[in-house]
């Protein structure tokens, strides 16, 4: 997205952040994409419930994913993050991935 428009999308830097997380560098991953790093525990928990349901034949749900408030709130947060990480002045320029 950055090469086409000159703007960082909410997911820019996620691949490098995942790479750094897999190597144990949490602060480096946070530097590349803080939103992804902060969202990852919720996603891992939801995935864990799904895998447990598949293994044990249960039907538990992570009710947060079914909340309209959470879905619209997270969508709004992602849009706000997208706008803020493209502002060219401090402290918002810290949200952009390092060059």
* pLDDT above 90: residue 71: yes
**pLDDT at 3 (0 to 100):** 79
Query: How many structural domains comprise the chain?
Result: 1
Q: CA–CA separation, 86 vs 72, rounded Å?
A: 22
Residue 12: φ, ψ to 5°: -60, 130
Distance set, CA 76 to CA 15, 55, 63, 71 (Å):
22, 34, 19, 9
**pLDDT at 17 (0 to 100):** 96
For 4-20, the pLDDT digits (tens) are 888 999 999 999 999 99
**pLDDT at 6 (0 to 100):** 83
For 14-65, the pLDDT digits (tens) are 999 999 999 999 999 999 999 999 999 999 999 999 999 999 999 998 888 8
- Residue 16 forms part of a structural domain: yes
- Residue 99 forms part of a structural domain: no
User: What is the DSSP annotation of 48-67?
Assistant: HHHHHHHHHT-----GGGG-
* pLDDT above 80: residue 99: no
The stretch 80-98 carries a mean pLDDT of 94
- Residue 75 forms part of a structural domain: yes
**pLDDT at 62 (0 to 100):** 85
Domain that holds residue 76: 2-94
- Residue 35 forms part of a structural domain: yes
- Residue 39 forms part of a structural domain: yes
Number of Cβ within 10 Å of residue 95's Cβ equals 19
- Residue 22 forms part of a structural domain: yes
- Residue 83 forms part of a structural domain: yes
User: What is the DSSP annotation of 11-53?
Assistant: TTTHHHHHHHHHTT-HHHHHHH-HHHHHHHHHHHHHHHHHHHH
């Amino acid at each position: 997205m950055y090469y086409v428009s000159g703007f960082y999308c909410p997911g820019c830097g996620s691949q490098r952040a995942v790479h750094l997380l897999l190597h144990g560098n949490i602060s480096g991953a946070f530097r590349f994409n803080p939103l992804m790093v902060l969202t990852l525990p919720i996603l891992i928990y939801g995935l864990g419930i799904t895998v447990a349901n598949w293994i044990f034949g249960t039907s538990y749900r992570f009710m947060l994913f079914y909340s309209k408030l959470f879905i619209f709130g997270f969508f709004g947060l992602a849009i706000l993050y997208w706008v803020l990480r493209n502002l060219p002045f401090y402290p918002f320029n810290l949200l952009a991935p390092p060059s």
